[in-house]
Structures are given as structure tokens and as C-alpha cells.
Amino acid sequence: MKVMEVKDYQEMSHAAGKYIIDKVKAKPNITLGLATGGTPEGTYEYIINDYQENGTSYRKVTTFNLDEYIGLKESHPNGYRHYMDTKLFNHININISNTNIPNGDIQHFKEECLRYEQLIEAHGGIDLQILGIGSNGHIGFNEPGTKFGTKTHVVKLTDATREANARYFQKFEEVPEYAVTMGISSIMQSKEILLLVSGETKIEAMKQLLGGEVSESFPASILQLHPNVTIIADEKSLIEAKVPS
Ligand code: F6R
């Protein structure tokens, strides 16, 4: 894992935005894996600004999002389709039909998980997967204890994750209890991974990611075994971690 240490959230967002834009320019029909949450918001803003100023084209890009809550309507303001449309897709020239997010508003989840996994495969896999990390080490919505071999599946969210995400809802009880997420194995099959980390709520997670053992009790630890991972992390998040030289 390569670690790029940056000053703060803004520097992380700029470095990540530039990283992604360079990859899109090098391979205009790239397949990107995308994340939601607070961490990549600044990165998406950077990409939009670049699109407005320099016209980088996303016409041939395909995207697959990591996860989606179960039980929210597609148009729900806290659903990840709404997040992606408003924070990125509506502001660049991507073809919306090339943007994929698991459907959390259906009855037959087994079929949906299989459909999603097969769709990723049919596109030849993900070239560059963007990840954030939960303070408990989750990636996607793969909570501690998730088997490393999992493909896209349904998860019960931990209270810690629901509390962390309650900031987007009126109250904790409104945060869905279940989600569909790409599995650890789906994520590990990406050709390249870019993990973005910022802020003091991630100090423990970074300490464990960079210094701890590979264990299903800390899902992100599996990234140590991936051959092409870049971490862009800010000073605050790295304060207690030993950054490999
Ligand atoms: C989001 C996702 C999650 C987040 C993680 C960190 O699609 O898969 O793993 O990346 O919960 O969230 P933030 O960025 O809000 O700290």
C-alpha cells in the first residue's frame, strides 16, 4: 500500500480528484468504483470544477457504486442514487445509463446482488475503486466480521455505522438497518484501489490499517494484500499511525 500524506481535507480532495481525472484521461472508457459519504464530497467537487474549466469528458466512463441502503425510495434525499446524481453525475457529461448503484428498493435481494455482481463482471471488472473507511474499519458496508470471500450481499448495519450516518437523517431511528453492498471479494477484484481518509474520527482506523494484522474483525485490513492500493490520508488521520516509508 502506498501512502500519500497530505495536509488536510482540501488537499486530500484535490489530490484524489487529480488522481481520478488523470486515470480518466489515460483511459476514457474506464470503469470506476465510487463511494458516498462525507469523505469523497470534496473530490467530486474538484472533478466538477475541472469539468467546467477543462472539459474532461466522462462520456465513455462507467461507474459502479459500492452500496445502497435498503428500504429508501430511489429518489429519497438520503439514498445514494440521489447523492451521486446531485453531488457528481448531474454536473458532468456522464451518461446516466452508464452509472450503476445497487437497487435497495426491491423485494428480491438475492437476485439483485447476483445481477450487480454479474454486471460488474460483464464490464470486465472495476479499473479504479474509490473507497472511504469507517472508523470501525468497514469498507463499502462490510462491517467487522464479514467474511473476506463475500460478493455483493445484504448486510445489517452496526449501530456504530448507523450513528455515524445519522448526521444525514432527522433522527437515528430513520437510518436504515440494512444495506446492499459490494462484498470484500468484489472490492479486492478491482485492478486498483484509491482509499481516501481524513480527520480525527479515522485515527484508530489508520493505526490499525497500517500497523495491524489482516483480520476479518477489521475489514479494511484485507487491503494490505491487494497489489495496487494508494491511500491519500491527511495529517490528522495519520497522527498515531506508522506510515510505511
Ligand atoms: C460509502 C461507503 C462507506 C464510507 C464510510 C466512511 O459508500 O461505502 O464505507 O466510505 O462509511 O464514510 P464517511 O466518508 O462519511 O466518513
Amino acid at 61: V
Extract the residue ranges of the chain whose pLDDT is less than 50.
none
Q: Of 65, 138, 153, 234, which residue is the catalytic one?
A: 138
Query: Which pLDDT does position 74 carry in this prediction?
Result: 81
Query: Which pLDDT does position 139 carry in this prediction?
Result: 98
Write down the domain spans for the chain.
2-30+38-197
C-alpha of residue 126 to centroid of ligand 1, in Å: 18
Q: Is the CB of 101 under 6 A from ligand 1?
A: no
Q: Is the CB of 138 under 6 A from ligand 1?
A: yes
Q: Taking a C-beta distance cutoff of 8 angstroms, is the pair 64, 31 a contact?
A: yes
pTM for the complete prediction? 0.96
234 part of the active site: no
- Nearest 5°: CA angle at 11, between 10 and 12? 90
C-alpha cell at 115: 445481477
CATH code for the domain defined by 2-30+38-197: 3.40.50.1360
Closest to 34 (Cα-Cα) out of 80, 92, 82: 80
Q: Checking phi first, is residue 125 left (phi over 0); if not, alpha (psi -120 to 50) or beta?
A: left
pLDDT digits (tens, 9 = 90+) for 160-218: 999 999 999 999 999 999 999 999 999 999 999 999 999 999 999 999 999 999 999 99
226 part of the active site: no
76 part of the active site: no
